[in-house]
Structure formats: C-alpha cells, structure tokens
Amino acid sequence: MAGEESLAPEQIAVSRDRRLLTLRYADGRSVELTAEMLRVLSPSAEVQGHSPEQRVTVAGKSAVSVADVRPVGHYAVRIVFDDGHDSGLYTWPYLAKLGAEKDALWQAHLAELAAKGLGR
C-alpha cells in the first residue's frame, strides 16, 4: 500500500530508559510517544476489543517500558512491552494518528481512568 508507506518513519528510536519512542520522518518531523501511551492505546484486540463496546480501559501502566520493536513487513511494527504485551500491530497510519492527536488522546485516557476510579 503506497499510501501507508508514505507515512512510514525513516527511523524509530527507543530512549535509553526504554520509556519513549521517537519517530523521525523524511520531512524532518519528529514525534515522541511514551511507552505508557503506546501500551494503553494498543491497537490489539485485547485492548480495543472487536467493537467499541468491548474496548478495555488499561490502567496501572505508568512504569511500563518498551522491550523491543519489531518490523512487520513495510507497513507496521510490533511493540513488545516489558509487561509481556506484544499483540498489537502499530501500522504507519495508526502511529501517525497517535502522533497527531496525542494530547487529545492522552487527555481522554486520563479522563476515562478518573471516571472509572483507576490509576495510571
């Protein structure tokens, strides 16, 4: 899919403490996503369910880190977290959405945690 490949970062780097993923793009943009955000917003069926009603609010992941990042073809990466979660495929469009909407998505997650009485 040529459109998805155009969203592909040129470089994906994990910080030394394994808690930040940096995506660098050909146009010079750089996007930083925390391991916690990537984990709680995992595109996996375990988190997202098979419908909006089945989506799970993931709590208690403030200390999670990235154990590994594995390429999946030319369209995605699989992020392995130190808590064992590894079933989400982070496609280029999904990572671009997380980068573009990260503040709003994070605030929505925090509001959801608060509404359910859950902690980070």
Q: Provide the pLDDT confidence category of residue 6 given band limits of 50, 70 and 90.
A: confident
Residue 71 forms part of a structural domain: yes
Residue 76 forms part of a structural domain: yes
| Range of the structural domain that residue 105 is part of | 2-115
Count of structural domains within the chain: 1
Q: Provide the pLDDT confidence category of residue 4 given band limits of 50, 70 and 90.
A: low
The CA distance from 42 to 87, in Å, is: 8
Distances (CA, A) of 8 to 42, 47, 48, 82, 106: 18, 24, 23, 25, 22
Collapsing DSSP to helix, strand or coil, 48 comes out as helix
pLDDT digits (tens, 9 = 90+) for 64-77: 999 999 999 999 99
Helix, strand, coil percentages for the chain (3-state, nearest 5): 35, 25, 40
Residue 21 forms part of a structural domain: yes
Does residue 1 have a pLDDT over 60?
no
Residue 120 forms part of a structural domain: no
Of 105, 66, 99, 106, residue with least CA distance to 82: 66
Residue 90 forms part of a structural domain: yes
Residue 98 forms part of a structural domain: yes
The CATH number that applies at residue 96 is 3.30.2020.30
The CA distance from 55 to 47, in Å, is: 6
Residue 83 forms part of a structural domain: yes
Residue 11 forms part of a structural domain: yes
The CA distance from 72 to 88, in Å, is: 11
pLDDT digits (tens, 9 = 90+) for 11-36: 999 999 999 999 999 999 999 999 99
pLDDT digits (tens, 9 = 90+) for 89-112: 999 999 999 999 999 999 999 999
> What is residue 51's predicted lDDT score, i.e. its pLDDT?
87
